[in-house]
Chain A
């Protein structure tokens, strides 16, 4: 365990079923992400990328292996070492392929809810939400419901929500799949900017090879096994 790492996974393995129906979705997957580092995880469909991301996101615990966040052991195999919901709320931000905004909240409220769940007062949460939307260029759409926003605007609002509590870890699963190449690149650049500015560790699962230059480190995953593919900045 390294105290200076934003994310560290140690031989994560995920097995579904047993006996003849046993499927190994992830095999001893290890990864280290430093604060401020933006990591891309590539791989074909079914290679185990999402399984890895949900294990790191404390949503889908591994069968074995350990997950450290900010140097703290949070998952030891399937066993939680902390209140996972509370930990996610305080330390993690999520962005997915579909914008995953709550449909009955407008753009501002979608950001505001993440802040209020973390204890912010209504007024403070509202101000911070507007700041983030402004930062992401969608402040003028703050009062609009997700159904009234374009794909890019929805994704920006989702990014704003992911950043709301200044998380130390940001996990993104194909965040640009629903965007055109220009918007997709903008979002990727945004991740890099946020990661560098906030010292957050960012893992982005992507199929989009056009924006790989933005990432500090690139991993590839195949048949449940992770291996480094390229590194712009040397790994710790």
Chain B
């Protein structure tokens, strides 16, 4: 006869509510782990998907995904000329926040190096990759933009031609992919008045110099748009992405580029590690500590619940001892109830979490390893939390059955 099951059956409502409570607690523990995994996944998503062997970034910076990085646009050609480089691509990346249909929308804008990169590597769930070098956009589903929808950013309007799933920036914003020139246009968009004032300022500065006064044609040139003035450099990029040609030593290629004084080279692994150590480390520690705290709280609550359940049964336990039940029967009853509570709580936590976590604004990723680890922890805390009840039960004298 399974006494644990009989007791649970007799107090089913109470046990069910207790189990649901424990399940909710375990769901939060599970969710904290999932949030952490989501942050890691989001942070390293681009690095893992974009297919670059190395990142050439502004000197002494950790790259555009971690901090501001500015490199000249001609760097892409310099890098392409290095022996062993198969492809070099422009990388433009920045985050904007605009108002769209009356609501704020945050977009991580990533430039695709047209025509080398049209976004064929993106995990599209609808639509297609870019087919023209302007005014097309591939957006992540989390931005809630529809296929075929137009969105105005700066002075231009972009049509959504493709949708991706789970392409999120490390800050949790959905990524929109456009051609590099469009990404720059969005980044450096200035109002007409600002452009006119800048041109006027240029001419005014020219007038203060002798050469400007002697050659008025220079002042006329200064008033033209930036693109028409050769000495003015085009807008800068965030980084250059490099793929190494087969048969070449990536370290050798990296060493060649790193020897230039204006850039720093990170391999894919370096970039990943820098990102995790920098951006994610504090979050990891914070969530890790919070998770430990929740696990301890869950263990304490389970111990108190099991202790209370045992206190309710003290008379029955004394009676069992009186009729000669060995300690193993009583220990087994308490331990089985603890395990049932833990296992059912875990199951409830998992099932409810599966429904609730997708509604969270950031991704909650439950990995098999994390779930297995938590299951082992739940089993351990179930056993540990039953010890208090078992200790109490073992101290009861059969004499108390007749008291």
Taking Cβ atoms with an 8 Å cutoff, the residues of A that contact B are: 50, 54, 57, 59-60, 85-90, 92, 94, 96, 100, 102-105, 109, 112-114, 116-118, 122, 125, 145, 161, 173
Contact = CB atoms under 8 A, between A and B. Distances in A.
Interface stretch (B175-183, B265-273, B313-321): B313-321
Interface string B359-403: 000000000000000000000000000000000000001110110
B78 interface: no
Contact of B10 (A57, A86, A103, A125): A103
Q: Most chain-B Cβ atoms within 10 A of its Cβ — which of A59, A86, A89, A118?
A: A59
A88 B402 contact: no
A89 B1 contact: no
Contacts of B320: 102, 113
Contacts of A94: 322-323, 402
A219 B142 CA distance: 88
B322 A88 contact: yes
Contact of B6 (A87, A89, A109): A109
Contacts of B401: 96, 100
Contacts of A109: 1, 6
Contacts, number: 75
B397 A161 contact: no
Q: Most chain-B Cβ atoms within 10 A of its Cβ — which of A60, A85, A87?
A: A85
B399 A117 contact: no
A59 B398 contact: yes
Contacts of A161: 323
A202 B305 CA distance: 41
B326 interface: yes
A62 to B, nearest CB: 13
A86 B326 CA distance: 8
B271 to A, nearest CB: 61
A104 B7 contact: yes
Interface string B340-369: 000000000000000000000000000000
A94 B291 CA distance: 51
Given A104-B316, A109-B1, A145-B10, A117 B325 contact: yes
A103 B313 CA distance: 9
A87 B326 CA distance: 11
Contacts of A112: 1
A122 B324 contact: no
Interface string B225-253: 00000000000000000000000000000
Q: Most chain-A Cβ atoms within 10 A of its Cβ — which of B3, B321, B322?
A: B322
Contacts of A118: 324
B323 A104 contact: no
B322 A59 contact: yes
B157 interface: no
A122 B2 CA distance: 11
A59 B397 contact: yes
B325 A102 contact: no
A85 B399 contact: no
A125 B1 CA distance: 10
A47 B342 CA distance: 49
A126 B3 CA distance: 15
Q: Most chain-A Cβ atoms within 10 A of its Cβ — which of B7, B319, B402?
A: B402
Given A94-B323, A113-B1, A105 B398 contact: no
Nearest to B5: A104
Nearest to B322: A94
A112 B326 CA distance: 16
Nearest to B325: A117
B329 interface: yes
Contacts of B286: none
Contact of A173 (B6, B7, B402): B402
B316 to A, nearest CB: 5
Contacts of B316: 102-104
A54 B402 contact: yes
A114 B7 CA distance: 16
A161 B397 CA distance: 20
B11 interface: yes
Contacts of B9: 104
Contact of B319 (A54, A102, A125): A102
Nearest to B9: A104
A122 B7 CA distance: 18
A117 B323 contact: yes
A117 B402 contact: no
A220 B402 CA distance: 21
A116 B1 contact: yes
B320 to A, nearest CB: 7
B11 A50 contact: no
Given A59-B397, A113-B325, 20 more contacts: A54-B399, A59-B322, A59-B398, A59-B402, A85-B325, A86-B324, A86-B326, A88-B323, A89-B323, A89-B325, A92-B324, A94-B322, A102-B320, A103-B10, A105-B1, A113-B320, A117-B323, A117-B326, A125-B1, A145-B10
